[in-house]
Amino acid sequence: MARTLPPVEAIRAEIDALFAEGRDLVEVIEDVARLGARLIIQTAVEAEVDAFLGRARYQRAAAVPSDDEQQAVVRPGYRNGHCPTTVKTTSGPVTVARPKLRGTAEAFASRLFGTGVSRTNTLETLVIASFVRGLSVRDVEGALADALGPEAALSKSTVSTICQAIVTEYDAWCRRDLSGIELDYLFLDASHFKMHDGQRAEPVLAAWGITCDGKPVFVGLSAAAAESTDAWHDFLTDLAGRGLRAPLLLISDGAPGLISAAEQVFPRSLRQRCVIHKCRNVLSKVSAGDQAEVKAAYWDIFDTSTLSEQVEPGQPLVEWVQRRIDAFAETWGGRYPAAVKSLLTDRASLTTYLRFPPEHHKRIRHSNFIERTFGETRRRVKVIGRFPGETSCVSLVWAVLDRAAHGWRGFTMTSKGLRTLQDLRRALLFPPTRLHPAAAATTDSTPETAAA
């Protein structure tokens, strides 16, 4: 008979199930926020019970270390299931599983719930503060201290237990071995958040990719002071140092520091300039009255749906689209020379994706794979204006992306597409080794010369 999941694990399973439903990402994140409120409260209450009994779930009293300090807090009694308790908040009811104990010498009363809390602004403040500061349960200690105060204070040991488990999980993710990940595509992007008092918004660097099996994978996340070459170089070097191999294609916006660092760390990988970011660059130099027409003409350049039967994917398709760029420049160059110059500057890197399987084109020509998730995170930050610190910021972004990663769609891999990728891999990452001139001369010698 299968063991019933502990309440905390059951809530985590509900969050994972949300991302497997194929629903809109923003809608899913809203549901995650509500489940996250339950997760924080449930985790805190379970930790209270651990502290009250002096031992963890499924741990026997005899197994607890017998030193005087530990022995003093071990109490008789055992867990006896849970009962549902609903707490009303202005955002709706939150139902948690309230632990029941039996055989204790004294009654257990949760400091969070008291003896019978059904509605509390303090509890609601806890939920909001914890989610905004990291719900991601990442900065729980500060949130609990600010929100609960003396009327419902949790013990220091309870807070420490919760925070230590969270920090351990995040730190392990940041140090994990990446040598088992082989990528076809690596997406790089950054989003800016206010995380230091009195300072401008600073970037959080992110990397995610598509493996050779077509599976999505969240690769790395790190805070930085700026999107400089040094910052991106350190970030990518850390990934490579943990075993991440060079991908076939790097997809990014046009940040000079990112491009320079990527070319240094992964010199053999091809690079794709995000066509969405470039569209914004071009339109920023076009009058409002012409923007709709210029935008339509821009996207017509990259519409290859009618060319699939006329032009082979690869270099022939690249050349065809390059001719379209020339036509766009001829049409709009006289009226908007700055916009056309912006387009022509990156023309080569805008069409790199056309060398890859056609079924992947629409998803590898831009770096906006998680832009909506970043946007959702920024929207939450507006509640308080800025994060309380760098740890809270990176933790929240990581928590949202880590959960969202379970619902990211992979890539379809066809037999023809796999052959294309394999050919590119041999040409880019494992090119034939050139023979030494002396060895080549020996190899090229004729039998007569050798005999002589």
Amino acid at 36: G
Q: For residue 111, give Cα distances in angstroms to 89, 115, 144.
A: 18, 8, 12
Tokens, residue 306: 């009618």
In this prediction, what percent of the chain has a pLDDT beyond 70? 65
Q: Range with the lowest mean pLDDT among 126-140, 186-200, 324-338?
A: 126-140
DSSP for 273-309 reads E-HHHHHHHHHTTS-GGGHHHHHHHHHHHT--TTTTT
Can you tell me the distance from the alpha carbon of 223 to that of 20, in angstroms, rounded to the nearest whole number? 29
Tokens, residue 344: 């022509």
Could you identify the residue written with the tokens 């998803």? 363
| pTM reported for the whole predicted model | 0.65
Can you tell me the distance from the alpha carbon of 56 to that of 431, in angstroms, rounded to the nearest whole number? 56
Q: Looking at residue 295, what is its pLDDT?
A: 96
Report which of residues 445 and 293 the model is more confident about: 293
Query: Angle between the 256-265 and 229-241 helix axes, to the nearest 10 degrees?
Result: 30
Q: Looking at residue 32, what is its pLDDT?
A: 61
SS3 for 42-108 is HHHHHHHHHHHHCCCCCCCHHHCCCCHHHHCCCCCCEEEEEEEEEEEECCEEEEEEEEEEECCCCCC
10-50 residue pLDDT tens: 887 887 777 677 665 545 555 665 676 677 777 777 877 88
Q: Looking at residue 34, what is its pLDDT?
A: 67
Q: Looking at residue 19, what is its pLDDT?
A: 66
In this prediction, what percent of the chain has a pLDDT beyond 90? 38
Contact 232, 261 (CB under 8 A): yes
Q: Is the pLDDT of residue 152 over 80?
A: no
Could you give the angle at the alpha carbon of 90 between the alpha carbons of 84 and 94, nearest 5°? Answer: 15
Q: Looking at residue 43, what is its pLDDT?
A: 76
Report which of residues 177 and 135 the model is more confident about: 177
Q: For residue 115, give Cα distances in angstroms to 109, 153, 332.
A: 6, 14, 73
Report which of residues 100 and 364 the model is more confident about: 364
Q: Looking at residue 105, what is its pLDDT?
A: 72
204-219 residue pLDDT tens: 899 999 999 999 999 9
Amino acid at 104: T
Tokens, residue 225: 């002071």
Provide the pLDDT confidence category of residue 345 given band limits of 50, 70 and 90: very high
Q: Looking at residue 149, what is its pLDDT?
A: 41
3-class secondary structure, 30: helix
Q: Looking at residue 402, what is its pLDDT?
A: 74
46-65 residue pLDDT tens: 877 887 887 776 666 555 55
Question: Which secondary-structure segment (H or E) carries 184?
Answer: strand 183-193
Q: Is the pLDDT of residue 300 over 80?
A: yes
User: Exposure of 234 by Cβ count < 10 A (0-12 exposed, 13-18 middle, 19+ buried)?
Assistant: middle
List residues bridging with 88 in a β-sheet: 93, 119
Tokens, residue 191: 């989003």
3-class secondary structure, 376: helix
Report which of residues 45 and 299 the model is more confident about: 299
Can you tell me the distance from the alpha carbon of 161 to that of 50, in angstroms, rounded to the nearest whole number? 9
Q: Is the pLDDT of residue 435 over 70?
A: no
Can you tell me the distance from the alpha carbon of 282 to that of 298, in angstroms, rounded to the nearest whole number? 9
322-337 residue pLDDT tens: 999 999 999 999 999 9
